[in-house]
Structure 1
Amino acid sequence: MNPHPNEWAIKHRADSCAVTQRPFVAGEYFYTLLYHGADGYRREDLSEQAWQNRNENIRPFSFWKSRYEPLPTKPAEPVPKENAEQLFRRLIASDSPPASACYVLAAMLERKRVLKQVKTESRDGGRRVLMYEQGSTGDVFIVPDP
């Protein structure tokens, strides 16, 4: 039988055995079996124990042996955009905003394209201030350069 590419919906590897329901552990070998039926392809991931105890009369369309490695966890953003912006807004609105923290947060938000530096000015005593604009709201923030 010649399978058509449209008949196969990609199924991701399971994290547990289809027969025993036991979760796979890192480094464990398991078997992937593909069956072709009237509804298309069906995938089963079996532990070695389930593979050895299977009914050999039921032949899969294809099978292979793999080593289970859990998917790497998605690294969390050090500070999510929303929280960093909220912290920046809270600090900049305080009576005496910490210059260094505001500067670092503004630079981080600029890098994430939340803020855009629109101007740099020198104030009394040669101290520089950076002017940032928040693109979606148009809010302007004046951040002293520490």
Structure 2
Amino acid sequence: MAGDTAYSIRKRAPQCAACERPFEDGDTVDTRLFRGAEGYERRDYCPQCAPAPDASDPFSHWKTVFHPPPPPEPEPVRRESAESLLRRLIEEEEAGAEAAIFVLAIMLERKKLLVEKAVREEEGRKLRCYEHRKTGESFVVEDPELRLAELEHVQEDVVRRLEGDGERGEQGQSRESVKPET
């Protein structure tokens, strides 16, 4: 028997199968499932149009209360990935983004997407060299040697940028970075 069963999901109809009157929130709906040639067929009726219980021998039947489906959720704002944000910040050479670039590189290193290959001291700055595990690209990132007190503000800045709040406006002008309170 299990081999010839057609599994399927049938949605509740928004209107009566007989009179085609749209169901309203709170209406009683008489639902009938029938076996058809191509699987199960569902028919939803208003109480006035529902066939007698023994009519046409449904496979199953029940009564329910109609509630309209919720509106579709709005498309989420496309969040920028850590990798694409890192690339964008490096390419744009945005002033004040050094700490965010460093935190993004560390995030990608923890995700095993970037591999640290070397650390160099140059002109009093610590530079970390990373290699992209998949593409072989090299990234040189300055280590701003963040203090613990600074880290929270930088993390907030990175989250804001990843959520799209740090993107450039329509005129191509950069929005101001969040400055830590003093």
Quote the residue 2:115 is aligned against.
117
Tell me the residue number matched to 1:100. Answer: 99
Asked whether the equivalents of residues 15 and 23 of structure 2 are also in contact (C-alpha less than 8 Å), the reply is: yes
Distance, in Å, in 2 between the alignment partners of 1:85 and 1:41 is 48
Instruction: Tell me the distance in 2 between the aligned counterparts of 1:21 and 1:117.
Output: 63
Tell me, what secondary structure is at the counterpart of 1:123?
A: strand
Go from structure 1 to structure 2 and tell me whether the alpha carbon gap of 1:72 and 1:94 turns closer, same or farther (over 3 Å shift): closer
1:8–1:86 Cα change, 3 Å = same
For residues 28 and 114 of structure 1, the distance between their equivalents in structure 2, rounded to whole angstroms, comes to 55
Q: Does 1:55 align with 2:54?
A: no
**1:11 aligns to what?**
9
**1:35-114 map, 5 Å:** 35-44=34-43, 46=44, 50-52=45-47, 53-56=49-52, 57-65=55-63, 68=67, 70=70, 73=73, 76=76, 79-81=79-81, 84-95=82-93, 98-110=97-109, 113=111
Q: SS of the residue aligned with 2:8?
A: coil
TM-score, normalising length: structure 2: 0.50
- Name the CA shift for 1:89/1:11 in 2 (closer, same or farther; >3 Å): same
Q: Is the 8 A contact 2:129 2:141 kept in 1?
A: yes
Cα distance, 1:108 vs. partner? 4.8
Distance 2:109 2:42 in 1: 46
Letter in 2 for 1:136: K
Whole-Å Cα distance in 1 between the matches of residues 61 and 137 of structure 2?
Answer: 59
Runs of 4+ in 1 over 6 A off after TM superposition: none
Structure 1 residues 119-144: Cα deviation after superposition (integer angstroms, max 9, x where no partner): 46252487544443333322121222
State the AA in 2 paired with 1:140: S
Q: Which ranges in structure 1 are unaligned for 5 or more consecutive residues?
A: none
Across the two proteins, how many residue pairs are aligned to each other? 136
Structure having the larger proportion of residues in strand: 1
- Helix, strand or coil: the match of 1:8? coil
- Asked if the contact 1:31–1:64 (Cα under 8 Å) also holds between the matched residues in 2, the reply is yes
Q: What secondary structure is seen at the aligned counterpart in 2 of 1:102?
A: helix
Which blocks of at least 5 consecutive residues in structure 2 are unaligned?
A: 145-182
Is the Cα contact below 8 Å between 1:117 and 1:130 reproduced in 2? no
Q: Structure 2 CA distance, aligned partners of 1:76 and 1:118? A: 34
Pairing 1:133–2:154 present: no
Could you list the per-position Cα deviations for residues 50-107 of structure 1 after superposition, in whole angstroms to 9, with x for gaps in the alignment? 34122222342013455656498598476143xx533321211234561122234334
What root-mean-square deviation, in Å, do the aligned CA atoms of Structure 1 and Structure 2 show? 4.1
TM-score with structure 1 length normalisation?
0.58
